[in-house]
Amino acid sequence: MSSPEPVHIRDESIRLGQLLKLAGLVEDGATAREVIAAGEVSVDGEVESRRGAQIRAGSIVELAGQAIEVVTGEPEIDVPW
Protein backbone atom coordinates (compact mmCIF):
# COMPACT_ATOMS: atom_id res chain seq x y z
CA MET A 1 0.00 0.00 0.00
CA SER A 2 1.24 3.52 -0.76
CA SER A 3 1.61 6.18 1.90
CA PRO A 4 -1.66 7.57 3.32
CA GLU A 5 -3.23 10.63 1.74
CA PRO A 6 -3.45 13.55 4.19
CA VAL A 7 -6.93 14.79 5.08
CA HIS A 8 -7.02 18.15 6.82
CA ILE A 9 -9.48 18.89 9.62
CA ARG A 10 -10.09 22.23 11.37
CA ASP A 11 -10.63 21.01 14.93
CA GLU A 12 -8.67 18.63 17.15
CA SER A 13 -10.91 15.69 16.25
CA ILE A 14 -13.66 14.59 13.89
CA ARG A 15 -16.26 11.82 14.00
CA LEU A 16 -15.37 8.79 11.91
CA GLY A 17 -18.48 8.97 9.72
CA GLN A 18 -17.82 12.64 8.95
CA LEU A 19 -14.17 11.91 8.17
CA LEU A 20 -15.04 9.21 5.66
CA LYS A 21 -17.30 11.67 3.83
CA LEU A 22 -14.77 14.52 4.01
CA ALA A 23 -12.05 12.26 2.57
CA GLY A 24 -14.33 11.11 -0.25
CA LEU A 25 -14.12 7.47 0.81
CA VAL A 26 -17.94 7.29 0.98
CA GLU A 27 -20.64 9.37 -0.68
CA ASP A 28 -22.98 9.88 2.26
CA GLY A 29 -23.69 9.15 5.90
CA ALA A 30 -25.77 6.06 5.11
CA THR A 31 -22.85 4.47 3.26
CA ALA A 32 -20.48 5.44 6.08
CA ARG A 33 -22.79 3.73 8.57
CA GLU A 34 -22.91 0.58 6.43
CA VAL A 35 -19.15 0.16 5.92
CA ILE A 36 -18.41 0.92 9.58
CA ALA A 37 -21.08 -1.55 10.79
CA ALA A 38 -19.71 -4.20 8.41
CA GLY A 39 -16.25 -3.90 10.02
CA GLU A 40 -14.62 -2.57 6.86
CA VAL A 41 -13.00 0.49 8.48
CA SER A 42 -9.87 0.43 10.61
CA VAL A 43 -8.29 3.18 12.65
CA ASP A 44 -4.61 2.76 13.44
CA GLY A 45 -4.81 -0.90 12.46
CA GLU A 46 -7.84 -1.76 14.63
CA VAL A 47 -11.38 -2.28 13.29
CA GLU A 48 -13.61 0.57 14.45
CA SER A 49 -17.34 -0.10 14.69
CA ARG A 50 -18.52 3.24 16.10
CA ARG A 51 -19.56 5.84 13.53
CA GLY A 52 -19.21 8.57 16.16
CA ALA A 53 -15.71 7.54 17.26
CA GLN A 54 -13.54 10.65 17.65
CA ILE A 55 -10.58 10.51 15.28
CA ARG A 56 -7.61 12.74 16.07
CA ALA A 57 -4.68 14.13 14.13
CA GLY A 58 -2.06 11.50 13.36
CA SER A 59 -4.57 8.67 13.05
CA ILE A 60 -4.47 6.44 9.98
CA VAL A 61 -7.89 5.37 8.71
CA GLU A 62 -8.26 2.61 6.12
CA LEU A 63 -11.19 1.51 3.97
CA ALA A 64 -11.10 -0.78 0.94
CA GLY A 65 -7.35 -0.54 0.51
CA GLN A 66 -7.31 3.26 0.71
CA ALA A 67 -5.55 4.91 3.63
CA ILE A 68 -5.81 8.47 4.88
CA GLU A 69 -3.92 10.31 7.61
CA VAL A 70 -5.73 12.91 9.67
CA VAL A 71 -3.90 16.25 9.80
CA THR A 72 -4.98 19.45 11.58
CA GLY A 73 -4.77 22.87 9.99
CA GLU A 74 -5.14 24.15 6.49
CA PRO A 75 -3.48 22.33 3.60
CA GLU A 76 -0.39 23.95 2.14
CA ILE A 77 -1.02 25.53 -1.23
CA ASP A 78 1.70 25.66 -3.86
CA VAL A 79 1.82 29.15 -5.29
CA PRO A 80 3.53 29.35 -8.68
CA TRP A 81 5.67 32.49 -8.27
Q: HSE on the CB side for 16, CA within 13 Å?
A: 27
Instruction: Write the pLDDT tens digit of every residue in 5-21.
Output: 999 999 999 999 999 99
d(CA 40, CA 32) in angstroms, rounded, equals: 10
d(CA 47, CA 29) in angstroms, rounded, equals: 18
Supply the pLDDT for residue 67: 97
Rg of the chain, C-alpha, whole Å? 13
Range 40-63 average pLDDT: 97
d(CA 78, CA 31) in angstroms, rounded, equals: 33
For the chain, which domains are there?
5-72 (3.10.290.10)
- Contact present, 48 and 36 (Cβ < 8 Å): yes
Is the model's pTM score more than 0.85? yes
